[in-house]
Structure 1
Amino acid sequence: MKSYVARPKDIERKWYVIDATDKVLGRLATEVATLLRGKHKPIYTPTIDTGDYVIVINADKIRLTGNKLQQKEYVYHTGYPGGRRAIRYDKLLQSKPEKAIELAVKGMLPHTKLGRAMYRKLRVYAGDTHQHEAQMPEVHEF
């Protein structure tokens, strides 16, 4: 039996809209990462970007379980000596709710050129409106 390898001309990309209202951050991120990678398709090939475009709306209504809202931190470094910065997720969700979902999904994608190409197909919006009506996205429920 031969293995199937998807070719770029075989890939058909769809647009999906996911409503993040009252969804748990990690569970939402795994579903989005699966759609971006294309693992839900029968033509999935690990070395080819076979994924779809994903639009996440209502990012400001995402949920974190347990004490993560007060204890979990987004940590980054400015590049200068002593430049470590940390922001708690309750403050991050108030100022930039899109960033929380983007970080969670980015961590679940491959950390290569292919993963960066997959990440570019993600659009996250804090409100319930988006500017991609022309692509006729389908509502994805999970």
Structure 2
Amino acid sequence: MNPVPKSYSAKPAQAHADRKWWVIDAEGKTLGRLASQVATILRGKNKPTFTPHVDTGDFVIIVNAQKVVLTGRKLEQKQYVRHSGEPGGFRTEAYGHLLERKPELPIVKAVKGMLPKNILGRELITKLKVYAGPDHPHAAQKPQPLA
């Protein structure tokens, strides 16, 4: 009788060893589709060593965040909502205004919503670097463009 093959479970020390850096140009890409692709890479689900409770993902750099596309009339209709915790502290802002004011925030919020809502998710979002323009300060890490 053949022995049953054992399932692989990555250890945290092994997961940090083979991390890569990826660059994604957001120009002309749809926000939600870009965010789901980035969340998959940050989580490590694109690797054969994926383990749900261990951070096996890579670093992702997104450039040209201000040129990301929202389909339909989302630029006027979709609202960014926040509350300060004080009475009367409820604030809303259309995504069109938000993209002009802080072009990185819609991408970060979209990716964060697709990550686990626990300590691991908060750790994963720190590996995402978003820049409004085409330049980034991570040349030393030798990032590769993602196809």
Normalised by the length of structure 1, the TM-score is 0.97
1:46 aligns with 2:71: no
- Hey, what does 2:127 align to over in structure 1? 121
SS in 2 for 1:63: coil
- Hey, what does 1:98 align to over in structure 2? 104
Instruction: Identify the match of residue 73 of structure 1 among 75, 79, 97.
Output: 79
- Hey, what does 2:13 align to over in structure 1? 9
1:111 aligns with 2:124: no
> Pairwise CA RMSD of aligned residues?
0.7
Deviation sequence 1:26-65 (CA, Å, 0-9, x none): 0000000001000000000000000000000000000000
| Aligned residue identity for 2:121 | G
SS in 2 for 1:76: strand
- Alignment partners' CA distance in 1, 2:60 and 2:104: 13
- Hey, what does 2:28 align to over in structure 1? 22
Instruction: Identify the match of residue 86 of structure 1 among 92, 103, 110.
Output: 92
- After superposing on structure 2, the runs of 4+ consecutive aligned residues of structure 1 that deviate more than 4 Å are none
Which has the higher Rg, Structure 1 or Structure 2?
Answer: 2
| Aligned residue identity for 2:118 | T
- Alignment partners' CA distance in 2, 1:49 and 1:16: 16
CA offset at residue 82 of structure 1? 2.1
- Alignment partners' CA distance in 2, 1:140 and 1:87: 32
| Aligned residue identity for 2:13 | K
Normalised by the length of structure 2, the TM-score is 0.94
- Hey, what does 2:38 align to over in structure 1? 32
- Alignment partners' CA distance in 2, 1:50 and 1:72: 33
Number of residue pairs the alignment of both structures matches: 141
Aligned-pair identity (%): 57
CA offset at residue 10 of structure 1? 2.3
SS in 1 for 2:104: helix
